[in-house]
Structure 1
Amino acid sequence: MKKKISRFFTLLFVPPLGYLLVRLLFLLCKKEILIHKEVFELVDKPFIAAFWHGEMLFQPILYQHIRQKPKGYVISSLHFDGEVVVRLIKFFNLETIRGSTSRGSVRVFLKALRALREGKDIAITPDGPTGPYHKISNGIVALSQKSNVPIVIFRFFAQHSWQMKSWDRFLIPKPFSSFSLITSKPIYIQELSEEEATIFIKQEMEYPFETYYKSYQESYHQT
């Protein structure tokens, strides 16, 4: 009974308070938002947004800088934490698909595939929902190859932050500090094998900020 009551109040208060805190922290920090110009060329085409579980804090806001009218789905786990995420995500005008492509869920995979074919974007944490840390699941690779839709990597780099002691080493920037949100260019992996694509995406997702910036400096649109 106590557990049910606790969960009821968690679902009632945590999502709206979490949304307000994310927005407040975003406003209090000095930020740099760098979006690859080729991403804006996908105006009428869907993409798969990929970001590490520990870097998800401001990714919905980064997505809103790309799509003025959000048309995306976030894949969220079936755990209780996933329900909290579902309710939080709604404040960003995003929808959710419950489950995990890394757990062999055919239902989730087919729903995500259908959404992409309908022109909707899909957001995935390749190492979520429970890790291991920075391990790419085969779900994102299969989804991209099957749908012929590119992957756009979202990264979050903070100069001064707290790193949680959770499995994903969740990052929270300190108030009044600086951080950067940056995307890769659209990545097409249809010509690669599953193993090659997994290795390639992991490499792309683990580049330091300087590598992204130097590689695409002339191709970034700063907002």
Structure 2
Amino acid sequence: MNHLSNYPHSPLSFPFEQQSFPKFKSSQKEDSAPSPTLKTEETTARKPFRFRAALYYYGHHFFAFCLLALLKTIYWTCRIEYKGEDQAESEAQQGALYALWHENWVTYFGLFSHQRQPKSAVMLHPARYMKPSHTLMRWLGYDELILGSTGNSGKEAFIKLSKLLKEGYNIPISPDGPLGPAKVLKKGALRLSLLSGKPIIPIQFRYKSYFRTGDWDKKIIPFPFSKFEVIYGKPIFVTEATLEQSELDLTRDLG
């Protein structure tokens, strides 16, 4: 008899199919199964990404809600006097461009939140920081949201806006946007009116009590319970022959 059979862990001390190698099996098990430590580390590595995604989603909805609350406050607490509204409403049935200086956007959307026009569309800057405003526009009930500006798919947005105007949509626009200078009229609104054949309706705002933000346009936000006027100018129909005169009329009527 071989002397190796006297050792309990010798391969010759028991049949092959009954052999067990605890140390070998243990190491094989560790190699084949994922390490609990590694799994925990992987899970931990994924959490920050999910957290950022949730923070971004709920964050911009929270800011959109705050903006909506501000607009509702303006409408429900302020005393608003309208002038020339009937003529503007008649033009709205066929589609028109509503022009206002960039500083008046907050007030305008406050009015729109309760006086929604038929077949309405709006163009906003496509930047990521504008996401709360994009969400807000959908909450306000705009039928079409066009993302674009000068240098950011502006040409495509211009073509889309022209098409919507021809289909009878009403679109607000700031002739001094998107980045100013404030109250310096650019010809985008005039060209859009010329291309679509739809009139421009100037909107002027006159405030009694308000404060301004620190942006380039120094946006105006009326104080709660204050009074302001909304003045709709006469429709401006732009043609090649009246382009220069239309620019002067629009600048004057915007105030």
Moved more, 40-49 or 193-202: 193-202
The 3 A distance-change label for structure 1 pair 41 and 29 is closer
TM-score calculated relative to the size of structure 1 = 0.80
Identity among equivalent positions (%) equals 26
1:116 partnered with 2:165: yes
1:79: which partner in 2?
Answer: 127
Deviation track 1:155-175 (CA, whole Å, cap 9, x = no partner) reads 222101001222111101112
Q: Is the 8 A contact 1:36 1:185 kept in 2?
A: no
Task: Determine the C-alpha separation between the residues in 2 that align with 1:200 and 1:81.
Answer: 34
Structure-2 separation of matches of 1:17 and 1:105: 29
Q: Which shifted more, 105-114 or 87-96?
A: 87-96
Shift of 1:197: 3.1
- Flag the structure with larger Rg: 2
* AA partner of residue 161 (structure 1): Y
Rounded Cα–Cα distance in structure 2 between residues aligned with 1:72 and 1:101: 22
Contact 2:107 2:222 in 1 (8 A): no
How many pairs were matched up?
A: 205
* Matching residue of 1:131: 180
State how far apart, in whole Å, the 2-side matches of 1:71 and 1:120 are. 5
Instruction: Label 1:192 to 1:91 Cα distance change in 2 as closer, same or farther (>3 A).
Output: farther
CA distance in 1, matches of 2:224, 2:246: 37
Distance 1:43 1:133 in 2: 27
Larger relative CO (CA 8 A, sep 6+): 1 or 2? 1
Separation in 2, partners of 1:62, 1:173: 12
Write the letter of the residue equivalent to 1:70: P
Asked whether the equivalents of residues 150 and 178 of structure 2 are also in contact (C-alpha less than 8 Å), the reply is: no
Give CA-to-partner distance per residue, 1:130-183, whole Å, 9 cap, x none.
Answer: 111112222111100111100011222210100122211110111221111221
RMSD over aligned Cα atoms: 2.6
Aligned-partner residue type, residue 58 of structure 1: T
Match of 2:236 among 187, 191, 198: 187
- Unmatched segments (≥5 aa) in structure 1: 207-223
1:205 to 2:249 alignment: no
Bigger shift: residues 72-81 or 33-42: 33-42
The C-alpha deviation readout for 1:105-147, integer Å capped at 9, x for no partner, is: 2201110011011111111111112111112222111100111
Q: Which runs of 5+ in 2 are unaligned?
A: 1-48
**Structure 1's 12 and 62: CA in aligned 2 closer, same or farther, altered over 3 A?**
closer
Give the distance between the partners of 2:52 and 2:251, measured in 1 at CA: 39
TM-score (norm 2): 0.71
Q: Which residue of 1 aligns with 2:108?
A: 59
Q: Which structure shows the bigger proportion of residues in strand conformation?
A: 1
Query: Residue type of the partner of 1:126?
Result: P
How do 1:1-223 residues align onto structure 2 when only pairs under 5 Å count? 7-63=56-112, 70-94=118-142, 95-100=144-149, 105-192=154-241, 194-206=243-255
TM superposition shift of 1:50: 0.8
Q: For residue 64 of structure 1, report the CA deviation from its aligned partner.
A: 6.7
